[in-house]
Amino acid sequence: MAEHVDSHNENHPTQSIEDTGEKVVYLLVYHVVFIMFVWAYWQTIFTKPMNPLKEFHLSHSDKELLEREDRGESQQEILRRIAKDLPIYTRTNSGAIRFCDRCQLLKPDRCHHCSVCDKCILKMDHHCPWVNNCVGFANYKFFMLFLLYSLLYCLFITATDLQYFIKFWTNGLPDTQAKFHILFLFFSASMFSVSLASLFIYHCWLVCKNRSTLEAVRSPVFRHGTDKNGFSLGFSKNFRQVFGDEVKYWPIPVFSSLGDGCSFPTCLVNLDPEQPSSPTGSNPANKSAAEGRQFPSKPLRESQSRLLTSTPSWSENETATDKDRKGASNPGMTIENEA
């Protein structure tokens, strides 16, 4: 019987942890990190990506008009008329309105068409094969937490396995097959830690700069030209745009991102004169015109509007008005359909 117990202990090296307090700490930390990891992974996979609102879709009459017109200039006028009622500030590389021919809609800022999902995704970051889902506005926070908790999970396994990994090379472990399990566990956990750390650090950098992966590869184009920092509002506001205003929700995989995904505040002073005013300021000259538009006058949530009203340094009303007057004489744009 004693020989059986000794053999059992040799095949289970975890029995070498003699301190009860250490065992409790290991078990608590492991299960907390594991539960948060699975929760974030679940949310990333099963959260349905958000698509543009119906205001961005062409109406039946607009579709007929667009199909009947063969001349680019006439089609240009149709899309320009529709775009005036929407908070769209980005353009194609040629300066045209970003129009999706497959979805028959005007793309909101930071929206892209996913060829895998065959849909336009709000603030699309990338289509991730590991979660079999598009990572965008609806689940980008979940994706960040998934990277964080998976990294913590691997680091915890690596750290707790390190002492036994050292004993493996110093012949401090019993001569059983279990010691090869320790070797495999350490190498696999440490290698995953390196790859996850690099990916997590990269996405932290994207959050700090308020960019998506697509925008990091190809900078967004505004009416005045390409601007890679066009949506950046500073570190604090960029972070809160993804994780929300309330600190208690930051580490939890529940949706707390700011805004509606269809419009975003920018750091630009020379806003597009052809588009409705963004929540950055309240120009009295444009207020009456905005009341007649179909699109809501405040497309952002109240919490996201505070991102801009708290620091008016980049959006002086007087400066913006001057820029609008100068930009009113700019020529129109051409059409370039993007799928």
- Give residue-wise pLDDT tens across range 112-170: 999 999 999 999 999 999 999 999 999 999 999 999 999 999 999 999 988 888 877 77
What pLDDT was estimated at residue 129? Answer: 93
Judge whether residue 292 has pLDDT over 70. Answer: no
Q: What is the pLDDT of residue 308?
A: 52
Please give the Cα distance from 277 to 287 (Å, whole number).
8
**Beta-ladder partners of 100:** 105
Q: Which of 311 and 308 is assigned the larger pLDDT?
A: 308
How far, rounded to the nearest angstrom, does the alpha carbon of residue 78 sit from its chain's CA centroid?
Answer: 32
Strands 126-128 and 133-135: antiparallel
Distance CA 30, CA 157 (A): 8
The average pLDDT across 238-255 equals: 97
For residue 206, give Cα distances in angstroms to 9, 145, 238.
48, 14, 9
- Give the model's pLDDT for residue 41: 98
Mean per-residue pLDDT, 61-84: 82
Question: Which pTM value belongs to this model?
Answer: 0.76
Cα dihedral 21, 25, 28, 29 in deg (nearest 10): 180
Q: What is the DSSP letter of 338?
A: -
Residue 304 pLDDT:
46
Q: H helices then E strands: how many in the chain?
A: 11, 10
User: Per-residue pLDDT for 320 more than 80?
Assistant: no
Q: Say if CB 244 and CB 257 are below 8 A apart.
A: yes
- HSE toward the beta carbon, residue 242, CA cutoff 13 A: 30
Residue burial 40-59, b: 16+ Cβ < 10 Å; e: rest: bbebbbebebbbbbebbbbe
Question: Could you give the residue numbers annotated as active site?
Answer: 128
Structure-token pair, residue 114: 């996913």
Let me know: does 231 contact 266? Beta carbons within 8 Å: yes
